[in-house]
Amino acid sequence: MASVLYLVLKSREKWWVDMEGKSLGPFETSDTATFAAIDAARLRGDVNMSERQVYLEQPGRKFTMIWSSAHPYDTQEQARRA
């Protein structure tokens, strides 16, 4: 089972998403950035992908979202198809 890591982080008073080395943003709130990351993951992933989210709710810390696929897949191949 492959895992893909998405980070939602705050930098210079704006929220950003790091999605496998590609950035999305800026966003005004962490919730908006989180929903954008989830939407992007759903668009890039397979339909059987399940989500597992881990939030570190401490000021100045990263919000980590980990997506685990039900089936192994090559993330570079997925990126080429997108």
Q: pTM of the prediction?
A: 0.56
Number of domains in the chain: 1
Q: What does the alpha-carbon distance between residue 15 and residue 46 come to, in Å, rounded to a whole number?
A: 26
Q: What is the pLDDT of residue 26?
A: 97
Examine the pLDDT at 20 and tell me if it is beyond 50. Answer: yes
Q: What is the DSSP letter of 48?
A: T
Token duo for residue 13: 């008073």
> What pLDDT shows up at residue 1?
39
Per the structure, the complete domain to which residue 51 belongs is given by: 3-81
CB distance 2 to 52 below 8 Å? no
* Cβ–Cβ < 8 Å for 28, 15: yes
Mean pLDDT of the chain: 69
